[in-house]
Amino acid sequence: MTRQVKIQTVDGAEIVIVGNGIAGLTAAVEARKLAPDKRIVMITDQNHPTINTPALKQFAIGKLTREQLLAYPAGTERTQRIHVINARVEEIQAQKKYVCLTGGRGFGYESLLIATGSVATGLPQNLPGRDFDGVLTLHRLNDYLDMRRRLSEIEDAVVVGGGSHAIETVVSLLYWGIRVHWLIRSDTFIPRMLDRPASDMVLERIRRAGAKVYTQTEVIGVVGRVGSVNGVVTNQHQFLPCQLVLVCTGTTPVTALAAHCDLPMKSKHGILVDDQLRTSVRDIYSAGDVAALKDPQTGGYAPRAQWYAAVLQGRIAAAAMTGSVASEEGFGVPWHATRLGELSMLTVGNPLQLHDTATTLTDNSKGSYRRLSIVDDRLVGYLSLSPLQPDGLAIKRLIDEGHSISHIKKALLKGNFDARKYFSHQRTYAAHYMVHTGTLPAPGALESPIKTQPLVHTLRETGPLGVPEEAVMRSSIKSGVNTHSLYDTSTHDDLIQQKTLLFFELNEPLFFEEGFAPDLARQQQTGMPCVIESTLVALPSNTSRRTSGSLWSYSDKLPAVKAKPGNSQFIIFPRSEKEEREHSQARVHPSSSLWSYTDKHVAVKKGH
Amino acid sequence: MLKSGFKAGATNVVMLHKTVPQVAQELHACIGCNECLLACPAVTDSITIDVLNRETLSGPISVPVARFARSCYQCGACVAPCPVGLHRDAMMMWLKVRMLRSGWGE
C-alpha cells in the first residue's frame, strides 16, 4: 500500500517527516502543494497508510470496512510524489542535519518534522496477569482488528479508563449487546474536562443504557484460566468475571527522538513547540500528538491529541518548513467534540478553570447541560452536553476572536445559538459600515490582524507556567482586540464594526462568489446600502432531521433501551395525526433508539 | 423567518451560508466516521469519505462524487449525526458550486 523506496536510492531530502499519522501526511501533502519541486520523504515504521483514527471505533464494531478508514484516497503518496521509507528513526544528528535509521544508515534533511504521535499508556507494568490473552490496549489499528475478531464470542467485558476513549469503547460494546463493566479510577468522569453535574449526567445515561459503572475503582490483577482472561480483581475487593479486558487509559507522547538528539530539545509531556511548530532545535519541527503547544488562555504547554488539532498542525508545519506564510489563523483555544453515548460533548477553551475571575453560567434544562465561563463579556470556556452537537467551531471562533457575547449569551446557554445567522449578520454590519462611512478598513488593520493582536485574552488564573505579564494583559482585556490607535476612541458599536470588517476580509471570498452574492464593489459605487444576506433556500418540507442508525444510538439488542415504534412514552411532544402520517412516510431508519430525535422535537425546542 | 421554517407543515427553510474558509475548516476537522453518509437518503454509489472530502476541497471531481452531489437535495439529515458538529450540507453546497464552475453544470 505505502510505496516502498529502497533506502540506497535516497540519501537525503529537503523535507523529512517522521511518522505517517494524520499530522505527518497532512504536512507532506500540504508541503507538496506549497513547494512543488522539493523532495519530500516520510519515514515510518507503521505497516499501513494513514487512517482516520477517530473512526476506529466505528470500524471495531463493523460499521466501516478497512478501505473506509483511509484518511486520504489510496495512492495519494504516489500521486503527490511523497517517498515513503519503511524504517525506524533511532536518533537525530542535528548539528550535521541527518537522522539515523535502524541499522545505522544516515539520512540527511533540510527541515525535519517529528510527528511520531503517541503510544497507549496501558496497564501498569507490574500488574499481575496483564499478559493474558484477551487483555487489549486499544490504540492502533492492530488493536482494533484484534478486538473486532473477538467480539462475537464475548459476553462480559471490562473497560478500564476514565476518558472519552473509554466511554466510546463502552458504547461500542453495548452496541454489540455485550455486558460491560466500566472501571473509573476517579470519582467522576473526565474530571479535567467535565464538572460534577456533567459527569453525573453522562454516567447516569450510560448506566441506563446498560453498563455497570464502578467509580474510584482500579484493577489490581487480571485472573486467567489456561492463558486467557477469566476476570479481573479490583481494589474494591470485587471479582468481575469477563472474557475481555479493554484498556483505554490514555496516551503518552513518543518523545524518544527528543531524547536521542545531539542538541538539547525541550520536551515535557511532549516536545515543546512555538506557534510555528518549531522545536528548540533549529530546522526541526514537531506536530501532532507528540507536540506540546502553548494554551493561549493558561500559558501552559500540553499536547492536543485530537484529530483537528493534528490536521491544523500538519498544515502549519508544512508552511513553516517550506518558508511559506501560513494561511491559518493560529491554533486558538483547545476544542474537543465527541459523542458520548447518546449525548454529544463539546468543550471549547477552559470551561472549568478560572474560577475566580470568570462568571460561570450553567443550564441543565431539557436533558442537556451547558456551562459558560465568561470574563468581561467575552466567552473563555464552553461546555455542552446535549443530544445535538452545537456548531463547536463557531463557538471556538467566538472565543478565539474575542467577540462580545452579551446579546447571544442566552442563546449560547440555551443551546440554540445560530452561528450561521450570527456570523452572516456580522458581515452585514461590516458591509453597512463600509458603505455608510465610505471608509475602507485601514491597510494596517488588515495585515494579518490576528497575528498582531492577542488571539485570546490571557487570564490571570494561569497554569504553572504562567508568566508575570499576564496580569498586565488581563487589565487590558476589554480592549484586547482593539489595539490599533485608529480605533482607540471608538464606541462599542464601532468596535464591533471594526472587528467585523476584519472578519469580512478574512472571510473573502464569500461562499457564493458568483451569481448569488451581491457584487460588493458595484454596490458601493452606486451608494446602495449593501446587505449581504444569508442565502435562504426553500426546500420541500418533510426533510426531517433525525438521528441515523447511528453507532452512538444504542443497539436494539439491548432491551433496556429498546423503544417500540410508536411508543409515545419517550416522545416528549406528542405528534398530531398529520405529523404522524408524515413521519410514517419517512424513510425507516435502522435505529430504534430511545434517543432518536424527530424533526418536530427540534422544531419545538427551537421555537420555545 | 427562520423560525417559521420550523413550524410543522411549513416549508423547511435551510440556511446555506457558510464561507469558503469555514467549509475548508470543517473539512479539515472531519474525522471520517462516515455517519453523515450512513444517514444520507440520497447517496447511491459507494462513496468513501476521504474521496468526498478531497474532491470537495479541491482538484478534479470524479463521476461518482458528481452524481452524488447532483442527487443531494440538501435535506440536512447528515448534520445531526455528526459527532463533532460539522455541516455536511454546507460542504455539499460548496461542492455543487465547484461543480458548476468546473463545467459539470449540465
* Tens-digit pLDDT profile for residues A496-540: 444 433 433 344 333 333 333 334 444 444 444 333 333 333 344
Q: Can you read off the three cell numbers belonging to residue A284?
A: 526541526
C-alpha closest to that of A414 among A550, A269, A605:
A605
- The beta-carbon neighbor of A307 closest among B21, B26, B31 is B31
Backbone angles phi, psi at A381, to 5 degrees: -155, 145
The mean pLDDT value for A603-607 works out to: 37
Chains A and B form CB pairs within 8 A to the count of: 182
Cβ <8 Å between A537 and B16: yes
A55 and chain B in contact, CB less than 8 A: yes
Mutation for B interface: A541, A542, A552, A593, most B CBs within 10 A? A541
Residue A38 above 50 pLDDT?
yes
- Residue A571: which pLDDT band, with cuts at 50, 70 and 90? very low
- Residue A423: which pLDDT band, with cuts at 50, 70 and 90? confident
Cβ <8 Å between B34 and A63: yes
Lowest mean pLDDT: which of A153-157, A589-593, B53-57, B74-78?
A589-593
The mean pLDDT value for A385-413 works out to: 87
B14 and chain A in contact, CB less than 8 A: yes
- The beta-carbon neighbor of B81 closest among A510, A550, A606 is A550
Pairwise CA distance, residues A57 & A119, whole Å: 17
Rounded percentage of chain A residues whose pLDDT exceeds 70: 67
Q: Give me the number of domains chain B comprises.
A: 1
B44 and chain A in contact, CB less than 8 A: no
Between the alpha carbon of residue A127 and those of residues A104, A123, A246, A252, A255, the distances in Å are 35, 7, 14, 19, 25
Q: Flag whether the ipTM exceeds 0.90.
A: no
A424 and chain B in contact, CB less than 8 A: yes
For helices B49-57 and B63-71, angle between their N-to-C axes, nearest 10 degrees = 90
A141 and chain B in contact, CB less than 8 A: no
Residues in A touching B28 (Cβ below 8 Å): 308, 311-312, 315
Residues in B touching A510 (Cβ below 8 Å): 19-20
Between the alpha carbon of residue A364 and those of residues A201, A370, A371, A384, the distances in Å are 10, 6, 9, 10
Between the alpha carbon of residue A523 and those of residues A41, A72, A436, A532, the distances in Å are 50, 42, 12, 11
What does the pLDDT read at residue A572?
A: 40
Determine, yes or no, domain membership for B11: no
Determine, yes or no, domain membership for B95: yes
Pairwise CA distance, residues A346 & A363, whole Å: 15
What does the pLDDT read at residue A425?
A: 73
The parent domain of residue B79 ranges over 17-101
Residue A396 above 50 pLDDT?
yes
Determine, yes or no, domain membership for B83: yes
- For chain A, which domains are there? 7-118+254-322 (3.50.50.60), 135-249 (3.50.50.60), 337-417 (3.30.390.30), 426-526 (no CATH), 538-608 (no CATH)
- The beta-carbon neighbor of A344 closest among B33, B83, B97 is B83
Select, from the ranges A54-58, A242-246, A296-300, the one with the highest average predicted confidence (pLDDT): A242-246
Determine, yes or no, domain membership for B91: yes
What does the pLDDT read at residue A377?
A: 85
What does the pLDDT read at residue B53?
A: 92
Lowest mean pLDDT: which of A57-61, A129-133, B53-57?
A57-61
- The beta-carbon neighbor of A550 closest among B2, B35, B101 is B35
Mutation for A interface: B1, B3, B18, most A CBs within 10 A? B18
Determine, yes or no, domain membership for B10: no
